[in-house]
A and B are shown apart, each in its own frame.
Chain A
């Protein structure tokens, strides 16, 4: 058995051993959240041959504001059937943060395996209105700034700084949607040239349609296990464990006017704590819902210097959030996609990133490694 990598966080090594996601759809009109999650759990458990009874801790991420009612996570629990009662928790954040809580919980000697999941059904409401309620309730939310306009401010700042051009934005979109052609779960995939994309009209200048994420209904689940348990379960699935050797998250101030929107200091700090630069990187899955944000994140993570074997870092081979963007699950899916590449042996060291809040306010960075 190869040597288990030593984690930077805690003392018990934790690995992703299974990942599953629902079909990403513009409108899932036949299944509620529970019905969407059930087959995802069945797939995630089935791959490693376990049941809910083998799981010591459960943690989920979701938000009531997508459902439009309180306690949306409560009924979602019925997708597992938490009986007998289980140790379980929930974050009102992207499920990538639920995974962080699970990694911390797995440091307890009594907890050897965890299920992490997230879900978001954006089609139920009007996202442009809903997301405005995430802003400062006294001075920002009353103006109802929609998320596309906020991302446009960030994109404009990036253009003004001279760090990027609209061609660069289109190149991110073209590469991501082309990669998505190989992702059966992708919602938006195409092979179009940068020139073709630049012929689109602005939605909110300087953002054209191709720079925007799709609106998605979706869900995802990850199974985590510690040490020998991870080796054993991964072997059952015929994969390698994707060891989470580093994970950290940081937040920036909320006021957009107080931030340099062309940089992501919170990502840089989290990457430092997670140890991104400790080695080369094969794959990076970045939670950049808007194309210009990928450029900001790549710079903050220092990806340009981290390619391996003479290759650049393969960014968002899944297509990333431009291919499918289920809110509250999108960050977890980045971790799942990065882990999938480690598990199937096509990458040895990967970086996964998740974001929350307007214009990349809060960011989480994880490093995943396969033992060689």
Chain B
């Protein structure tokens, strides 16, 4: 027997290129306080804190949870630090959720952040390690060949990625927390932006952001109390899973990774989802480079293999008129505080399920998927949230 768990509080910062008005502690507190306010709770109500972020070299602080413990109200409590590469924001939420489902705690604060302007992520990603394949030119340089392989395999037209880039930036215009607000975004503007890693133009890449995300996860009792106090309904966790596979070996499909397929199958089984495109009302999926939308549409089973780009092309993932809107918040393409980017996916589906997403709310969301991935497309974290208590 395991306990139920729900999202009962949500908070995030306004994501920006530089938040030089706050320290790292100030940044995470901003998101955490908003989540506590949203749940109608104070620091004293929290049993434990679970914090996640991407590599410590992104800020130059080793194990920053030690320094952040008092800022997050954790003194005298457990504080736990997760690091699973780009998927970390999602994994962090899952570790926090397990502290509730296991019956250990009633209310857990989970926080993820990145303050990219404090250091240089491109440098931190490019440090050459002995006997390892160099990740030259950062993440985009690593993923571009996989994208070209996807285009070759699927026969997708060259403009699909640019369409994703436009769509997610149009979504971001409805999200006041998004980093990029490009009012005049167009296909032409994307196409005319500089080519970074063929076929990825500058505007097909995620930005570098400072930002933090926080959620309060609660047990059934905590959820009932929060709803009574705030009038806001909980978003129930219907399924959650993590999967990892090795970075490289002969025969690994880096374009459609098995770990992603199996992670999805696991959460769908838990949530009773048999047809993702029909059963979900929206999804927030980790798309740091435009072409990962069609690739993950296939990996997550929203369509047959080779058809992901067709959904993008026909507008199925657009909030206006699409039957399965993806990344209505603007996604990673519009805000990328790396360590928090995965948690933002998980948090945004909570907003959708609670009907609290404001201008980027999809009508009548009953069930939604949050996904995060990291490393060389090898670490996956997912959860399914719903309005109904499971």
CB distance from A243 to the nearest CB of B (A): 17
Interface size on A, residues (CB 8 A): 65
Closest A residue to B80 by beta carbon equals A97
- Specify which chain B residues have a CB less than 8 angstroms from the CB of A253 in the assembled complex: 69-70, 75
Confirm or deny: A130 has a beta carbon within 8 angstroms of a beta carbon on chain B: yes
Within 8 A of A (CB), among B70-95: 70, 74-85, 91, 95
Interface string of A272-316 (1 = CB under 8 A from B): 000000000000000000000000000000000000000000000
> In angstroms, how far is the closest chain B Cβ from the Cβ of A360?
11
Interface residues in chain B, defined as those with a beta carbon under 8 Å from any beta carbon in chain A: 1-2, 23-24, 54-70, 74-85, 91, 95, 98-99, 101-104, 118, 124-125, 127-132, 241-247, 249, 257-259, 262-263, 375, 378-379
Q: With a CB–CB cut-off of 8 A, which chain B residues contact A92?
A: 56, 63, 65, 81-83
Check if A266 is an interface residue, CB within 8 A of chain B. yes
Residues of B within 8 A of A97 (CB): 80-81
Tell me which residues across on chain A come within 8 A of B83, comparing CB atoms: 73, 90-92
Residues in A neighbouring B262, C-beta threshold 8 A: 84-85
Distance from A279 Cβ to chain B, minimum over Cβ atoms (Å): 22
Q: Chain A nearest CB: distance from B3 CB in Å?
A: 9
Contacts of A84 in B (CB 8 A): 245, 258, 262
Q: Is the CB of A85 within 8 A of B102?
A: no
Contact of B75 among A10, A134, A252 (CB under 8 A): A252
A169-196, CB under 8 A of B: which get 1 and which 0?
Answer: 0000000000000000000000000000
* Contact status A70-B91, CB under 8 Å: no
Q: Is the CB of B62 within 8 A of A88?
A: no
The answer to whether A203 has its CB under 8 Å from any CB of chain B is no
From residue B172, how far is it (CB to closest CB) to chain A in Å? 27
Residues of chain A in range 17-61 having any CB-CB distance to chain B below 8 Å: 32, 58
Is A254 a contact partner of B70 (Cβ separation < 8 A)? yes
Which of chain A's residues 226-263 have a Cβ closer than 8 Å to chain B?
248-255
Q: Contact: B66 with A104, CB < 8 Å?
A: no
Check A251–B75 contact: CB distance below 8 A.
Answer: yes
Most buried by B among A91, A251, A356: A251
The residue in chain B whose Cβ has the minimal distance to the Cβ of A84 is B258
What are 26 pairs between A and B in contact, CB < 8 Å?
A64-B57, A67-B129, A68-B127, A69-B128, A70-B54, A70-B58, A71-B375, A75-B129, A78-B246, A82-B245, A85-B262, A85-B263, A87-B243, A89-B242, A90-B84, A92-B56, A92-B82, A100-B80, A101-B80, A104-B95, A107-B101, A133-B62, A135-B67, A254-B70, A356-B66, A362-B69
> What CA separation (Å) do A128 and B82 show in the bound complex?
25
Chain B residues closer than 8 Å to A77, beta-carbon distance = 244, 246-247
Task: Flag if B55 contacts A70 (CB, 8 Å).
Answer: yes
Beta-carbon contact of B81 and A87 below 8 Å: no
Report the 4 A-B pairs with minimum CB-CB distance, sorted nearest first.
Answer: A85-B259, A70-B55, A107-B102, A88-B244
The interface residues of chain A lying within 8 Å CB-to-CB of B68 are 254
CB distance from B27 to the nearest CB of A (A): 12
Contacts of A199 in B (CB 8 A): none
